[in-house]
A = this chain, B = another copy of it.
Amino acid sequence: MTADDLVSLRRDLHRKPEPAWREFYTTARIVEELEARLGDDITLHVGPDALATDRRLAVPDEPELTHAYQRALETDADEATLERLEGGYTGAVAVLERGEGPTVGLRVDIDGLPRAESDNTEHVPAAEGFRSEHDGAMHACGHDAHATIGVGVLERIANSDDFSGTLKVFFQPAEEVIGGAKSMAESDHIEDVDSLLAMHIGLDHPTGEIVAGIDGFLAVRHLEAEFTGEPAHAGGHPEQGRNAVQALATAVQNLYAIPRHNDGATRVNAGLVEGGSASNVIPESARTVVEVRGETTELMEYMTEKSRRVLRSAAEMHDCEVEIEIGAEAPSATSDQELVSIVEDVAGGVAGVDSVLERDELGGSEDATYLMQAVQENGGKACYVGVGTDHPGGHHTATFDVDEASIQHGVDTLAGAIERIGRGR
């Protein structure tokens, strides 16, 4: 793919951002591009064939899925492909077999975010006409570039004389809700992967900078808690109520007050709360989505256990019931030095790359860790690579954008590293 091809594909995806499990057009477009470029050279596992279908997390409601699916049907996307994705089974695994050698995985995520994109004329996508066509949705974290890099790497390796082995590219849905990686990590496709590369663009690193190995992924879990009490007339019989909002408030106060842990960083956030129905009714129901994180999976489990205790006791204090469900989760992970060294070495020779950092910390969460953990548990190696890009707005903001030159840096670095791994170094 030429640099223009990469830009063109990225812009096409940028126009049609699709949040978690609704990547209908996106998946079909990737499949179409791969089939056009590589034809029979690759094997494509699409939608349900790419996933352990009962392991999807944080899947949206039926109406939201249907709305997005209908919208995709109105595009020029291949209808046969779309039909395979119906119901929110999105994403794909592309497999390229090139003889003897290790199986190398590359994971790129493909979903957009449920937020509106800036229409300011200083925002390049607005100025150059590829701003989001989907109201209230946006590629505000660069996954359009990620998907493009995945296609670019596949094509490069398909045409390379320098790779022997198998390359699998995981076009993963639903990263933003930490909901997609688990179902790919528990599919068959990951089992024979010896080395896995994952990647992210940006992360406050400028164009021309590569981070060979990113660590510091916080393990994360979402707890959805639903309190149920008993309504009562707030004027007439307050004593007959069992107040779910009081339970919620008590829980929130004590969740944030879970003791800090000496083994490392922890996080907790009651990021969403709602409760009650009217000002004159003692609230009979309330809910919150609580996110806990830990520097290690153990620390995240500690926060989970403490949060459950707080939620249960808060309910009991106000004579309410509480149901707690796990919404989504991802473990912690570490990049293996062996792969970090390869990427570091390769990146040093990539045109346009003028700065290579060996390691950096993410300080957030990413469900690529599910795939990394699966590979490492099977005795393989994993590494998470950062590809710098000048981005005007921060990640997840309305003015986020990538410097398209960095797409090429990503393809070159990753393809180079994959070749090196395929040569047995």
Contact = CB atoms under 8 A, between A and B. Distances in A.
A304 to B, nearest CB: 13
Nearest to A113: B278
A246 B256 contact: yes
B256 A259 contact: yes
Q: Chain A, interface size: which category?
A: 35 or more
Contacts of A249: 248-250, 252-253, 270, 273
A130 interface: no
A267 B235 contact: yes
A396 B237 CA distance: 14
B262 A271 contact: no
Interface string A221-237: 01000000000011111
B365 A235 contact: yes
Interface string A245-264: 11011101110110111110
Interface in A308-353: 309-310, 312-314, 316-319, 327
Contact of A283 (B239, B271, B312): B271
Interface stretch (A4-12, A284-292, A368-376): A284-292
A364 interface: yes
Q: How many copies does the complex hold?
A: 4
A185 B202 CA distance: 46
A261 B253 CA distance: 18
Dominant secondary structure at the A interface: mixed
Contacts of A160: none
A265 interface: yes
A280 interface: yes
A234 B309 contact: no
A324 to B, nearest CB: 14
Contacts of A286: 273
Contacts of A190: none
A293 B262 CA distance: 12
A238 B265 CA distance: 12
Q: Which of A234, A263, A272, A319 has the most CB of B within 10 A?
A: A234
A268 B273 CA distance: 20
A145 B274 CA distance: 35
A230 to B, nearest CB: 11
A281 interface: yes
Given A254-B317, A313-B313, A243 B272 contact: no
Contact of A237 (B241, B245, B262, B312): B262
Nearest to A283: B271
Contacts of A280: 220, 269, 271, 291, 365
B277 A271 contact: yes
Contact of A279 (B237, B271, B313, B363): B271
A269 B234 contact: yes
A319 B314 contact: no
Contacts of A238: 259-262, 267, 269
A275 B249 CA distance: 12
A104 interface: no
Given A279-B290, A281-B271, A327-B279, A236 B252 contact: no
Contacts of A273: 245, 248-249, 273-276, 283, 286
Contacts of A260: 238-239, 260, 265-268
Interface string A370-393: 000000000000000000000000
Interface string A9-33: 0000000000000000000000000
A276 B271 contact: yes
Given A273-B273, A273-B275, 4 more contacts: A235-B267, A243-B256, A246-B252, A260-B260
